[in-house]
Amino acid sequence: MTQIRQNNKDAYGLILDAIDIGVYKPGDRLVESELADRFGVSRTPIREALQRLETQSLLSRDGRSLIVASLDHSQMAELYVVRSELEGLAARLAARHATIEEKRVLQDMVNDDYKIVDDPSALSRANRRFHKQIHLASHNRFLVQQLDLVHRSMALMATTSLAADGRGEVALAEHQEIVDAIMHGHEDKADDCLRQHISIAFSTRLKLLADGD
């Protein structure tokens, strides 16, 4: 297996990033020796990282093995409630505090994402970057930290709502509404648009799951 060496990250961060970008998906088994080989680190920090991820409920036990956890319906609903509240607050604060440059970056992201609207995987990655930029534009480090935790848990969902037919274009239109509100400093509207965006994404995900049963 090809080693991935990144000296500026610890084993915990490397495994977490691998889960976040879908290298390891819900249900995948994580083996110490394989992870140590992949990331080019010793097994001791890998073992400690796995224990930490298990404590955070990002990994679960399957007999003696550790696997990437998955979310049941109740957990998913709970996560979306928290996400909606925190994302709405981030948009509100971004409308209040975002710099001209940050607003410009958000608009550029929306413009660029139309080029990949028919690629759900690429759009999903771009979507994470877009939301992260809003978090940073809130200029509240504690809120950013909490949203990072929420978005790590979002990686435990095997599919993206952006895979639904037509969802990509609709989601980008919603992104544009959010950006417009932030651009003009409309705090209430930014909050409302972001919450509505999350609500529609959740409804879309539920429909995808129902269709898959």
Which band of pLDDT confidence, cut at 50, 70 and 90, is reported for residue 64?
Answer: confident
Do 194 and 153 belong to one domain? yes
Do 61 and 91 belong to one domain? no
Place of tokens 């003009």: 184
Mean pLDDT of 75-100: 96
Give the CATH number, domain containing residue 29.
1.10.10.10
**Is residue 212 predicted with pLDDT exceeding 80?**
no
Residues linked to residue 81 through DSSP beta bridges, in sequence order: none
* CA atoms of 84 and 50, how far apart (whole Å): 29
What DSSP designation does 67 have? E
* CA atoms of 117 and 133, how far apart (whole Å): 19
* The length of the chain, given as a count of residues: 213
Domain with 174, as residue range(s), is: 73-212
Give the CATH number, domain containing residue 145.
1.20.120.530
In tens, the pLDDT along 24-44 reads 888 899 999 999 999 999 999
* CA atoms of 45 and 147, how far apart (whole Å): 26
In tens, the pLDDT along 107-166 reads 999 999 999 998 888 898 899 999 999 999 999 999 999 999 898 888 787 667 777 888
Work out the burial of residue 95: count CB atoms within 10 Å of its CB; fewer than 13 is exposed, 13-18 middle, 19 or more buried: buried
- Contact partners, residue 17, CB within 8 Å, separation at least 6: 9
User: Is the CB of residue 30 less than 8 Å from the CB of residue 68?
Assistant: yes
The last residue of a domain, from among 41, 68, 95: 68
Tally of CA atoms within 13 A in the half-sphere of 167 that contains its CB: 22
Q: Write out the H or E segment, with its range, that includes residue 61.
A: strand 59-62
What's the whole-model pTM score? 0.80
In tens, the pLDDT along 160-186 reads 777 788 888 999 999 999 999 999 999
Tokens describing residue 67: 């696997």
Residues linked to residue 30 through DSSP beta bridges, in sequence order: 66
